[in-house]
Each structure stands twice: as C-alpha cells, then as structure tokens.
Amino acid sequence: MLDQKINILAIESSCDDTAAAVLTNDKILSNIVATQEVHQQYGGVVPELASRAHQQNIVPVIHQALSKANMDKSQLHAIAFTRGPGLMGSLLVGTSFAKSLSLGLGIPLIEINHMQAHILAHFIDEKEFDKPTFPFLAMTISGGHTQIVKVTSYFTMEVIGQTIDDAVGEAFDKSAKILGLPYPGGPLIDKYSKEGNPKAFPFTRPKVGGLDFSFSGFKTAVLYFIQKQLKEDPQFIEKNLEDICASIQYTIVDILMHKLKKAVKETGIRQVAIGGGVSANSGIRNALQDAEKKYGWKCFIPKFEYTTDNAAMIGIAGYYKFLEKDFADFSATANSRYKI
Ligand code: KG4
Ligand code: ZN
C-alpha cells in the first residue's frame, strides 16, 4: 500500500442533500451535508427545486468542508463525485462542478456509483466500528433503492435481489404521508414506533419470488386500512398513532429480514452489512443485532452520519479507486440509472 497520504475532496448531489467531505486516506476530516428543506412543503422531492438548491449550496458546502478539514485545495490529490444513480438535474450540478474543479486544479477525477458508496461506507476508518471482510452481503435500503448485494471485492458487486416497484424508504415515507406526517416520514414512523405495539394491526406481506422485494402493495394495504378505520372513527389516527407506526415498522422490518435470511441461506455468507437512509431505522438495527445472537451472523451497522446521503461514503469509495488508479476522463457524464 502507499506510504503517501492521499487527500480527496468528495462531492455528493444525487438527490436532495448537497454534501462534501474531505478525507486523508480512509479517515474523514470533514463531512458536511446541507439538507434541502424546500421539499418538505410538497411531501416529496421536487427535482427542479433540488437542482436549483444544489447550485446554491455547492460552493458554500465545499468551502465549509475544506475549512473544517483545515485543508487548502492545493493540497488535494483527487476529486471524487457521484455519477449516479439519482435525479439527473441534481447529478449534473455535482458532476459539472467536480469536473471543473479537477480540471482547474490539474488533479484526477474519480466517478463513484452512489449505491456502491453506501456499501463502501463500512470501510471508513472509525474507532469501534469493524470493517467487513470479503465476501459479505450488503442490503442497501434507501428512499430510492432496495437491494441485496453480494460483495466480493471493493468494486466487484452483484445484485442478487431488489425491489420490483417501490423502495423501502418510499414504503416508510408514503405510509407516513397517509398518516398525515411531514416528509420524509421514515424517521417519524421510527420515533412513534418506540411507544407502540408492533402487533396491534397486522398487515399482510407481499408474495414475491426469490430475493426480490415489492412494497407498492404494502402502501396500498396501509391506505385501505386507514381509510376504513377513519370511516368508523375520524380520530382513529390520533388515538392510535404509536400502534399504527409500530405495526408498519414491524411489518417492513419483517419483510427485509425474511429476504436477508433467505440470501444468507442461499449464499452461505453470514457477514451482513446494511447501508442507505433506512439503515438508520431502530427496528432493522435491533433485528440485525438479534440475528447475531440467534443465527451467529456478523452484522455491520453504519454510524448514523453515514446512513443517509453523505459525501464521506463517496470519498472512501474514491480512495479505493485512487489506489487502483481508476480515474475518470472529462467525458464522464451523469448517469441517472447507473448500475452497480
Ligand atoms: O439514503 P437516503 O438518504 O437517500 C436516498 O438515496 O434515497 O435515504 C432516505 C430515506 C428516506 O425514505 C427516509 O425516510 C429514510 O431514508 N429514513 C428512515 C429513517 N431515517 C431515514 N426510514 C425509517 N427509519 C428511519 N430512522
Ligand atoms: Zn442514498
């Protein structure tokens, strides 16, 4: 390995968070995220507004990341950026900025797949956090994706199961919207669940073959259930919010764990890592800790700041690409459907 210290500036702008991080090798010196509040009033991300907010945020966020890391841009060795997947208008802002900066500074450009980065976040050097060894299974659970990935090296990854419709984060957010909670509702469902009975209202599980997932039917089941209950008692949500949230979370976690157990059985791999915004959820975290005791798995749960979108994960993926001298050229374009 290199003796040299590699300084990387990483930029993430795939959805509604404008983020920049500075790393020296696998250590994070700064990790800045500007979350766009503008979308809350619309109950979901508005792509045009996201793109505009990235344009406003990107310069101050990068300045902040460099100054917090106490680093001048002349000390950087490479710029890593999210090429995709994500919203085109959002990705274009980070891509164009990264290209211009790398051209201006005369340093290499590194393109990163956002979903690989959620997985590679486990390799950030953090006290008290073990790193997985290869091969391991990674379940990426976010507002845009739900995948089970077999990871055999830093950049050799195979998707062995995925959602055929909505992502698990959407199942959380859309259920929350039905309950009248603000966007993004996932963290609120998690919060109210803590006071509720997870078995109060049973919801049916979708029947999908293999290691794939489906969440659109679940969201509809929640909608019909709530509509029916409201007809009988207009105060139903207020009276039962904690129990409804706990039941929704219990069912979603059960669906995820069912497929994860199946994946472990089929591959024989018992190291399991999770990543993506929904890996902040207390239900899935507890279920994985139980699985360590019950099934002898070794589970890797990311530090909270590396669960939702961030640039530190783009930076660590960039570091491993830097070691392989896997650089992008200036024809690199944003790719909204970039595959793992
Ligand atoms: O990875 P992420 O920040 O963005 C995407 O790439 O989509 O994930 C955002 C998603 C949202 O759906 C949000 O509701 C969900 O992660 N989320 C949670 C929790 N924290 C974030 N869902 C359930 N429980 C949480 N604690
Ligand atoms: Zn993400």
Note down the domain range covering 174. Answer: 131-301
Gap from CA of 229 to ligand 2 centroid (Å): 34
Report, as an integer, the average pLDDT of 28-52: 83
Same domain, 154 and 229: yes
Tell me, in angstroms, the distance from the centre of ligand 1 to residue 276's CA: 7
Position 232 in a domain: yes
Whether residue 53 lies inside any domain: the answer is yes
Ligand number nearest to the C-alpha of 33: 1
Q: Is the pLDDT of residue 42 over 80?
A: no
Residues 191 and 319 occupy one common structural domain? no
Q: Is the predicted pLDDT of residue 292 greater than 90, yes or no?
A: yes
260 and 135 in a common domain: yes
Per residue in 113-130, pLDDT (tens digit) is: 999 999 999 999 999 899
Whole-model pTM: value is: 0.93
Residue 337 lies in a domain: no
C-alpha 279 to ligand 2 mean position (Å): 11
| One domain, residues 173 and 256 | yes
* Residue 137 and residue 277 in one domain: yes
Distances (CA, A) of 93 to 22, 58, 84, 205, 267: 19, 8, 12, 39, 39
Residues 42 and 146 reside in one and the same domain: no
pLDDT of residue 4: 83
Instruction: With cut-offs at 50, 70 and 90, classify the pLDDT of residue 169.
Output: very high
What local confidence, expressed as pLDDT, does residue 82 receive? Answer: 97
Q: How confident is the model at residue 313 (pLDDT cuts 50, 70, 90)?
A: very high
Domain match, 249 and 313 both: no
H helix intervals, the chain:
47-68, 88-105, 114-120, 168-178, 186-193, 216-232, 236-267, 282-295, 312-323
> What is the whole-number distance in angstroms between the Cα of residue 30 and the centre of ligand 1?
22
- Give the H or E element holding residue 300: strand 298-300
pLDDT band at 2 (very low <50, low <70, confident <90, very high): low
Q: Which atom of ligand 1 is nearest to the CA of 144?
A: 7
Rounded CA gap, 218 and 203, in Å? 8
How many A from CA of 276 to the centre of ligand 2? Answer: 5
Return mean pLDDT, the chain: 95
Residue 38 has pLDDT above 80, yes or no: no
336 known member of a binding site = no
Instruction: Give yes or no: residues 297 and 312 share one domain.
Output: no
Number of domains forming the structure of the chain:
2
Nearest-ligand number for the alpha carbon of 215: 1
Instruction: Indicate whether 159 and 215 sit together in one domain.
Output: yes
Query: Relative to the alpha carbon of 181, which ligand is closest?
Result: 1
Distances (CA, A) of 292 to 71, 262, 279: 41, 15, 16
Task: Summarize pLDDT for 45-99 with one digit per residue, the tens.
Answer: 778 888 887 899 989 999 999 999 999 999 999 999 999 999 998 999 999 999 9
Q: What DSSP letter does each residue of 23-71 carry, written as one string?
A: EETTEEEEEEEEE-GGGGGGTS--HHHHHHHHHHHHHHHHHHHHHHTT-
- Which residue has its alpha carbon closest to ligand 1 atom 24? 281
Ligand 1 cavity residues, CB under 6 Å: 15, 142-144, 169, 172-173, 184, 186-187, 190, 276-278, 280-281, 308-309
Tell me if 141 is assigned to a ligand binding site: yes
Alpha-carbon gap, residue 188 to 224, rounded angstroms:
21
The predicted structure's pLDDT at residue 45: 79
For residues 146-157, average pLDDT: 98
Answer yes or no: is 329 within a domain: no
pLDDT above 60: residue 305: yes
Both 70 and 145 in a single domain? no
Q: Pick the atom of ligand 1 nearest to 170's CA.
A: 12
CATH number at residue 249: 3.30.420.40
In terms of domains, do 191 and 247 share one? yes
186 is in an annotated binding site: yes
Q: How far is the CA of 169 from the centre of ligand 1 (A)?
A: 5
pLDDT band at 261 (very low <50, low <70, confident <90, very high): very high
Q: Whose CA is nearest to atom 19 of ligand 1?
A: 187
Q: Which ligand is nearest to the CA of 169?
A: 1
